[in-house]
Structure 1
Amino acid sequence: MTSLPTRSLEDQVRSIVAEHRDKRGALLPILHAVMEDLGYVDPAVIPILADELNLSRADVHGVVTFYHDFRQTLPGRRTVRICRAEACQAVGAAKLADQAQARLGVTFGETTEDGAVTLEQVFCLGNCAIGPSVQVDDRLYGRVSPQQLDRLLDVNA
């Protein structure tokens, strides 16, 4: 059985650009599509996007680094997001944030050395009435206690 050849990163990115080039403010939809396809915005795509969109590399890099949604490194196998908005802060989110950082040995925006967990902070998960809120991958949890957070951080669970 033969496997199909994989597309190069450049071919993949140019294909994404071709799909979104005609959209107004095309860079943002393109970056979101790159994130969806690759899981992150590899720094190697910045010159490709700049060339394709007739922008400077600095312009593209500036957008990638300005928005927290665009990762420049491969995320962990699981992503844990802790809400840091006012409603969640009022009911213990700061304590959960400290606990998660201490337990995982990383700060927000980092991935554990073993590649298991990426820890992120967000400023609203839309779950304000039952904070503090934590999102693990695509699943949202409310009224998260320190004990529940420990269970959520257990990547073997």
Structure 2
Amino acid sequence: MTRTWNPELASREIEALTPLEGALLPVLHRLQEVFGYIPAEAVTLAASALNLSRAEVHGVVSFYHDFRTEAPARLVVRLCQAEACQAAGARAAAAALLGRLKTEFMKVAPDGSVVVEPVYCLGLCAAAPAALIGDRLLAALDGASLCEAVEAAL
């Protein structure tokens, strides 16, 4: 349920979870669920509501790789980089896709359309290389088929 950043809504979401013991992680997960990311202003709101410093909250946000601090791309491509996929050409496929998109791993493409994230095993080792494009799992990819699949998903 990604919505445009709204500090009033964020404050209500934070307030609903503050009674929980160890509320910081549930608060951060909820903010990301609602807005798609955790902006700097949300860090300030959470810190104030939970009686923590901004540094403490920021430290948790930056420690866990699943938290985003920038608005998400419209499409997330998770590209397996585990050994079986590397042996089957995942690096070449990744280079082709990143070159086509004019971006790099973990950076939103300049047009905001897509982000490519490295992951380590999608469970399709026998049909490597594999990728998760949005919610669609694909295997036996090469650079051309990966690029085509991503373009079709956009």
Identify the TM-score tier after normalising by the shorter chain: 0.7 to 0.9
Gaps of 5+ in 1: 1-5
Which residue is equivalent to 1:34? Answer: 31
Q: Map Cα deviations across residues 70-106 of structure 1 (whole Å, 9 max, x no partner).
A: 1111122211111122332232222222122111111
Counterparts of 2:5 and 2:139, CA distance in 1: 41
Letter in 2 for 1:45: A
The 3-state SS of whatever aligns with 2:40 is coil
Map 1:49-68 to 2 at 5 A: 49-68=46-65
Map 1:131-146 to 2 at 5 A: 131-146=128-143
Q: Identity over aligned residues, as a percent?
A: 39
Q: Map Cα deviations across residues 4-36 of structure 1 (whole Å, 9 max, x no partner).
A: xx9972222222223433445432222222111
CA-based RMSD? 2.4
Counterparts of 1:23 and 1:128, CA distance in 2: 41
Relative distance call for 1:140 and 1:49 in structure 2 (3 A) is same
Runs of 4+ with deviation above 4 angstroms: none
Gaps of 5+ in 2: none
Counterparts of 2:41 and 2:76, CA distance in 1: 23
Contact kept, 8 Å, 1:78 with 1:118, in 2: the verdict is yes
The TM-score, its normalising length taken from structure 1, stands at: 0.83
Relative distance call for 1:77 and 1:24 in structure 2 (3 A) is same
Higher helix residue share: 2
Letter in 1 for 2:46: L
The 3-state SS of whatever aligns with 1:111 is coil
